[in-house]
Amino acid sequence: MRPAPPAQAKLQRRRTFIDNPFNGFTTTTSKLYDVPPVPTVATSGTKKVQQKPPSMEPADAIIKFAPRFSGTDQHDSQEFLTFLLDGIHEDVNLARKPMQEIEYDNLPDWQASAMSWERYLTRHTSIVVSLFQGQYQSRLICSSCKHTSTTYTPFMSLSLPIPAKRLKITNVTLYQCLDFFVKEEILEKEDAWFCPQCKKKRKATKQLTLSRLPDVLLIHLKRFSADGLFKNKLDTMVKYPTRGFDLYGYVSKFIPPKQSSAQDRASSTYDLYAVSVRNF
């Protein structure tokens, strides 16, 4: 999904990516396709001959670095896209600095999220990160001592569960999938959380929250549900809007207090760009 046309300032920033695809990020190697960046020059007598770089079919290049995609077996398009974007990111990543540990629990959510993202960028800076990566917050709260542990995790694609079995319905909306993703979860018994303050496993609550949205949002629907030792495919119909998929309510608490609400709502609203469907 691509964000719907927002304020002019936002359009200007996105236009940079269109006019200049690499947005200033360059690389001197091309590991993914194993092709030298500059053609070599050979001499034939007194005449210089421009040599063409070695060529390779895209499928062969992918298989060379990921043999699992060879043969005739079917693979998820989301798995392939993740591999491809990760490979591009590794090639054009400009940041290699070590990340420093930061305590977030005593900071406002919006500030902790921003600091965590800046920390992440010290190790990961590329056009892939700028366009496709977002961030979510994970918060654990001990039910006994109320100790809280908060972490922030970047994501390339947002994997949403389909709550059809829980709701006992045959079709759901994308908003219902998202609500199920951010719903508070109780950890107890064998799933109990080891509380660092209690020094033992305790019943706890866990909740995921979107804290930063990417320019281009990739959504992956989890089509399989665990049933004991087996996995069942969910053929539930998921309805999604083609225009105006509004996520403002899911990220509003992570927006700095003095920031323009109109611009925030525009930058958190998406229009559908493409759908990948696997039929089997």
Q: What is the pLDDT of residues 131-147, one digit of tens each?
A: 999 999 999 999 999 99
CA trace torsion 10, 213, 116, 251 (10° rounding):
100
pLDDT tens sequence across 232-272 = 777 888 898 999 999 988 887 777 766 656 666 778 889 99
Residue 68: C-alpha distances to residues 57, 65, 116, 243 (Å): 17, 9, 34, 36
Count CB atoms within 10 A of the CB of residue 192: 16
At 95, the pLDDT band (50, 70, 90 cuts) reads confident
More confident residue, 9 or 49: 49
pTM for the whole structure: 0.69
> Which phi-psi region, left, alpha or beta, contains residue 27 (left: φ > 0; alpha: ψ -120 to 50)?
beta
Class of the CATH-defined domain 75-270: alpha beta
Q: Write out 117-159 in H/E/C secondary structure.
A: HHHHHCCCCCHHHHHHCEEEEEEEEECCCCCEEEEEEEECCEE
Contact 211, 254 (CB under 8 A): yes
At 177, the pLDDT band (50, 70, 90 cuts) reads very high
- For residue 185, the model assigns a pLDDT of 93
- The closest of 82, 79, 62 to 71, measured between CA atoms, is 62
Count CB atoms within 10 A of the CB of residue 223: 16
Count CB atoms within 10 A of the CB of residue 22: 11
pLDDT tens sequence across 28-78 = 333 333 334 445 555 555 556 666 666 667 777 777 777 777 777 777 777
Contact 150, 104 (CB under 8 A): yes
> Which phi-psi region, left, alpha or beta, contains residue 156 (left: φ > 0; alpha: ψ -120 to 50)?
alpha
- pLDDT above 70: percentage of residues in the chain: 68
More confident residue, 28 or 81: 81
Beta strands of 167-274 (E only): which ranges? 171-173, 185-187, 193-195, 200-202, 204-212, 219-222, 224-227, 230-233, 237-239, 245-246, 269-271
The full set of domain ranges for the chain reads 75-270
